[in-house]
Amino acid sequence: MVKRGNIWRKGLIGFLFVALLIGVVGVTPISAQEKPIKIGYLAALTGDWAAYGQTEEKSAKLAVDEINAKGGVLGRKIELVVYDFRTRAEDAVNAVRRMIEEDKVVALVGANGSGINIATAPLVNRYGVAQIGTVSTNPLVTVDEKGNVRPFSFRICFTDPYQGKLIAYFAAKELGRMNAAILYDVGNDYSHGLREFFMASYGGYGGTVVADLGFRGGQDVDFRAQLTEIRDKKADVLILPNMGKEMALIMKQARELGMNEIVFVGGDGYGEFMWEIAGDAMENSYWINHVAPEDPAMQLFFKAYKEKWNDECKEFVNGVLGYDSVYWLVDAIARAGSDDPKAIRDALAATSNLALHHATITIDPANNTPKDKDGVVLVAKEGRGQFYKKIKP
């Protein structure tokens, strides 16, 4: 008599053998060449910067779709891994850690704010995974406090020292406004930097800062006390080195106080959504920026964006720079000939005369920043930001 235990054991052994045979013969593992190359994208999809971040996400997805439709890179598809940092530095740090440790991204794009990239810089440089800031203009994004370049931190935009000089030059030399007031966010790295570098250049062009006042972003919504002081000191230009919402409220309240002659000049914190808050107070304000919507080279992008998302690319600066950042990164992967993060970093640093859609860029190894990009002046007119002129100091 055969015991049931023996039958069970023999049956189990046979089952395992068949399963193993199927695994070896019938199932082909995915080869490295068939796996997608994962790149991360850090965007503020919620919070105060959501308008910027949502546009960047859509633009990045458009770029990835276009690249994949042409065969991807290194014979492999690109997979975009997007995380929402909710306009919070701590969320950005956690998101970057997850992208690198869990998702195994080979590089990442974003964010669109200097303070966020400064917070994530130690992390990406420790892990050895490159990060490209889109509209992250503070020098400390790519260079540490001692002046040493952060090897894995890059940006596609120009820096605050250059942008501050452009604002000072434009206000004094182009507009002839020689008595400036500044109203800045005391808790924002971007705002601090742009204010500092404006002030360093404005006097050299003959201008005088008659008022230098602050507020707390995300908390203050009434700026009438500061604006009254600015009016009393007879400023003829108000410099706004800030991000969207507060600038719109400041301009609206300034006009309500009868400050109709003062001219507003800001930087790349401009956003089209500001019109919804400020309305006509936006008219004839000026913004130093990276791109202009009328740029003929970008019209195919705007057309493709509208076709894919059934919407205009309203935050066009973020859209264009996010889109071109993906193309730059994929070009670096192709030149590296590998998905190795270190090889990709080396290729990004070696970028020379790369023709992207909005500009041709060469990276300065001293600061991992494009050299000598033109500044584009936008004028707020007829409900949108329009091209005014290009400038260099």
Report the chain's mean pLDDT, rounded to a whole number: 91
b/e code 71-105 from CB counts within 10 Å (16+ = b): ebbeebebbbbbbbbbbbbebbbebbeebbeeeeb
pLDDT of residue 34: 78
The answer on pLDDT for 18 being more than 50 is no
Whole-number Å distance between alpha carbons of 320 and 326: 10
The answer on pLDDT for 30 being more than 80 is no
What's the pLDDT tens digit per position in 217-231? 989 999 999 999 999
The answer on pLDDT for 127 being more than 50 is yes
127: nearest Cα among 349, 344, 363, 362:
344
Instruction: Give domain status of residue 312, yes or no.
Output: yes
Alpha carbons within 13 A on the beta-carbon side of 159: 21
33-37, 132-136, 376-380: least confidently modelled range = 33-37
- Residue 33: pLDDT band (50, 70, 90) is low
pLDDT of residue 375: 86
* 165 and 281 part of one domain: yes
Neighbours of 391 (CB within 10 A): 16
Instruction: Give domain status of residue 215, yes or no.
Output: yes
What's the pLDDT tens digit per position in 311-359? 999 899 999 999 999 999 999 999 999 999 999 999 999 999 999 999 8
Whole-number Å distance between alpha carbons of 166 and 210: 19
Instruction: Give domain status of residue 25, yes or no.
Output: no
196-205, 283-292, 331-340: least confidently modelled range = 283-292
Whole-number Å distance between alpha carbons of 249 and 218: 12
CA distances to 54, 80, 104, 113, 125 from 99, rounded to whole Å, are: 19, 11, 6, 19, 14
Whole-number Å distance between alpha carbons of 336 and 130: 13
> Does residue 338 come out as left (phi exceeding 0), alpha (psi in the -120 to 50 range) or beta?
beta
Residue ranges with strand state E in 2-136: 37-43, 78-84, 107-109, 130-133
* 254 and 346 part of one domain: no
Three-state SS at 268: coil
Three-state SS at 288: strand
Which of 15-19, 210-214, 269-273 has maximum average pLDDT? Answer: 210-214
* 95 and 167 part of one domain: no
The answer on pLDDT for 190 being more than 90 is no
Whole-number Å distance between alpha carbons of 311 and 58: 11
CA torsion sign for 95, 100, 105, 107 is: positive
pLDDT of residue 372: 82
pLDDT of residue 4: 39
pLDDT of residue 17: 42
11-25, 39-53, 117-131, 222-236: least confidently modelled range = 11-25
* 326 and 218 part of one domain: no
Sorted by sequence, the CB contacts under 8 Å of residue 274 that are 6+ apart come out as 244, 245, 247, 248, 282
Segments forming the whole domain that contains residue 215: 161-289+377-391
Evaluate whether 144 touches 150 at the Cβ level (below 8 Å).
yes
pLDDT of residue 294: 83
The CA angle 104-107-113, to the nearest 5 degrees, is 120
- Residue 2: pLDDT band (50, 70, 90) is very low
Sorted by sequence, the CB contacts under 8 Å of residue 368 that are 6+ apart come out as 142, 143, 149, 150, 151, 153, 154, 155, 348, 349
* 252 and 225 part of one domain: yes
pLDDT of residue 32: 56
378: nearest Cα among 244, 288, 262:
288
Whole-number Å distance between alpha carbons of 169 and 385: 20
Instruction: Give domain status of residue 196, yes or no.
Output: yes
Domain count, the chain: 2
Residue 146, domain CATH: 3.40.50.2300
Instruction: Give domain status of residue 22, yes or no.
Output: no
